[in-house]
Structure 1
Amino acid sequence: MDGTTLFSIGELSRRTGLSVRTIRFYSDSGVVAPTDRSPAGYRLYDLDALLRLDLVRTLRELGIDLATVQRVLKRELSMAEVAAAHADAVNVQIRMLQLRRSVLRVVAKSGSSPEETKLMHRLTQLSGDERRRLVDDFVDGTFGTSGADPAVVAMVRAATPDLPDDPSTEQVAAWVELAEMVGDEDFRARMRRTAGHHAAQRTLDIETRAGSDLMAFTRHKLAEVAESGIDPLGEEATPIVDDVVRRFAEVFMRAPDAEFREWMAEQFAEAHDSRVDRYWRLVWIVNGWQVLPGLIPVYAWLVETLRGSRDRGADSCGRLPASSRASGLDSSHPVP
């Protein structure tokens, strides 16, 4: 083959893998003009046209639009400039596809309704700046007019949830739940009520009176069960809460009955709110932070299981139903 060889449009099609119709379109568009015509008027192309068509096909397969391809062929743009710009565009497309995949997995796992799916899609389509503004509005609306301690506001802002470019299914679900939560006025009131206590790290009265040894044991035990995912209202929680109640009852010289359980629940609920605790756990999930056992909001678990055990029917002396006592789980188990 030499530089004077001319190819018919059919030969170009066989050599490039492009259809005759596509080559004809590129020819009519001026991307690859014919070099000459046969005596019968058919288009003929030289080796340079073949090479240009190979380049056009490669660039189009990489997703580069035809107008940009023409500018490259005319040397108005360098390949480096085009490659860099389109690499950025592909990165954006990849992030969007990854996010779309995560949303679809959440929908498949949770069985979301069409309305929930639409909301989830809308919330995850927000840009990073829009997501930050959503949280900023929450912080300003929650603490802006309440005379809140600056340390509280700084704490909340420092933990701004930031959905990553390639979120997991769990992170997408957590972000959607957070986005709905921060717009709820009831939740904002709860956050105002409890955030000051957390920021100042004030000790509850029951913690002071119970003593450091009992509180250290309680936090350790509750951190274990909360991290392991034990349902506070399930049967597995019963022996744990009974043991904790019995230890506190001995220190406070009270009977471990339903009244004492309710008193404990009220004491521990003073500075802890289940929805606020849920907010912080969701922030950890969205940001991909490690959930440290010492930071798990264990008191919310304790309050829920205390009130749940009351509702399940511990008797007036704090004893469990006979079926539980028969399995050796009653509150008379000795303190080690």
Structure 2
Amino acid sequence: MAGMDGGAVFGIGELARRTGLTVKAIRFYSDEGIVPPTGRSPAGYRLYGHDAVARLDLVRTLRELGLDLPTIRRVLDRELTLAEVAAAHADAVAAQIGVLRLRRAVLVAVAERRAGPEEMGLMHRLAKLSEDGRRQLVGEFLDSAFGDLADEPAFRGIARSLTPELPDQPEVAQVEAWVELARLAQDPDFRACVRRLAERHRGVHEGLGPDPAAVVRDAVAPALAAGVEPTSTEAGRVVAAVLDRVPHVSAERLAALLEAANDPRRERYLRLLAVVNGWPAPESATPAFDWFLRALGHEALSVG
């Protein structure tokens, strides 16, 4: 059908066929003024020009991308450019993705833990914390764990190394790790464990020499790699070498330090921390500590 100016016009049925939209949808957009008719037929039916096809194609695309009708109308009326709308909408989509990641992390954790409604509610609240809320939670954990020790220079560095920093657009694994880490940081038993470790670290270290735990890891690594048994004579020589390197630390105090450091929750926290912060996964100290504690115990029995 041709219009009075020679341009093609379509009835609403033909426009629906050309655009793939329903007659009802086109009538709605027309009533909203988004795709106005160019005129009416002698029988009173709406008629549309070629530009209606292009407008409806754009409307459908923008609606599928989630834009609301007032914004779409402003684009069509050239009050906003497509670039402006795309940039703003991209930011909104990024925020929505973040929310969906948080929701997925909670649901995955609930499924894996077979959590009940109360635990699920707690996990959901942890996942939704703002950056300030996360910082406050971590600060309370570190204050509880270190207390007055936090004022000492050595422990300020340790506290910083234990601080998780979830990025603005975290991966799903980072969100999942944050939820678990936050729950662990709120565990009073774990806080007490970290406090004991801090106190024992200060008691054996005190700036008098190398970190005893690091000395143990370095000394034991070759023995572990060589398959040396912790009850062997060679193991006794490793124990003696460690004690020689940390003469300010008794065997009993070293054992207490390693037992505190060997708590599996501490290692779990460090692994979760690495995921949240995007750091390489830390090497487990458990095999070295287990080996040395067994060797130390064997030496004590032998001497006794």
State the TM-score, normalized to the length of structure 2. Answer: 0.73
Are the aligned partners of 1:139 and 1:157 in contact in 2 as well (CA < 8 Å)? no
Change (3 A) 1:249 1:289: closer
Match in the other structure for 2:219:
217
**Unmatched 5+ stretches in structure 1:** 226-236, 253-262, 319-336
Letter in 1 for 2:75: V
**Following the alignment from structure 1 to structure 2, what is the Cα–Cα distance between the partners of residues 78 and 286?**
38
Pick one of 281, 285, 305 that aligns with 2:275: 285
**Following the alignment from structure 2 to structure 1, what is the Cα–Cα distance between the partners of residues 74 and 157?**
51
Shift of 1:277: 4.2
1:270 is paired with a residue whose SS is: helix
**Unmatched 5+ stretches in structure 2:** 242-249
Letter in 2 for 1:167: E
**1:125-136 equivalent positions in 2, closer than 5 A:** 125-136=128-139
Pairwise CA RMSD: 4.2
Shift of 1:248: 6.2
**1:3-18 equivalent positions in 2, closer than 5 A:** 4-18=7-21
Match in the other structure for 1:86:
89
**1:112-123 equivalent positions in 2, closer than 5 A:** 112-123=115-126
Match in the other structure for 1:298:
286
Change (3 A) 1:292 1:190: closer
Match in the other structure for 2:198:
195
Pick one of 164, 171, 174 that aligns with 1:167: 171
**Following the alignment from structure 1 to structure 2, what is the Cα–Cα distance between the partners of residues 201 and 317?**
23
Shift of 1:149: 0.6
**Following the alignment from structure 2 to structure 1, what is the Cα–Cα distance between the partners of residues 147 and 206?**
26
**Following the alignment from structure 1 to structure 2, what is the Cα–Cα distance between the partners of residues 61 and 142?**
50
The Cα offsets for residues 58-101 of structure 1, whole Å up to 9 and x where unpaired, read as: 11111111110011112111111100011111222233334433
Pick one of 39, 52, 56 that aligns with 1:53: 56
Letter in 2 for 1:270: L
Match in the other structure for 2:245:
none
**1:1-336 equivalent positions in 2, closer than 5 A:** 4-143=7-146, 145=148, 148-164=151-167, 165-169=169-173, 171-195=174-198, 202=205, 216-221=218-223, 240-243=229-232, 247=236, 251=240, 267-270=254-257, 272-273=260-261, 274=263, 275-293=265-283, 296-298=284-286, 301-302=289-290, 306=294
Are the aligned partners of 2:75 and 2:82 in contact in 1 as well (CA < 8 Å)? yes
Q: How many aligned residue pairs are there? A: 282
**Following the alignment from structure 1 to structure 2, what is the Cα–Cα distance between the partners of residues 317 and 134?**
45
Are the aligned partners of 2:271 and 2:282 in contact in 1 as well (CA < 8 Å)? no
**Following the alignment from structure 1 to structure 2, what is the Cα–Cα distance between the partners of residues 156 and 37?**
75
Change (3 A) 1:183 1:64: same
**Following the alignment from structure 1 to structure 2, what is the Cα–Cα distance between the partners of residues 196 and 41?**
88
Percent identity reads 46
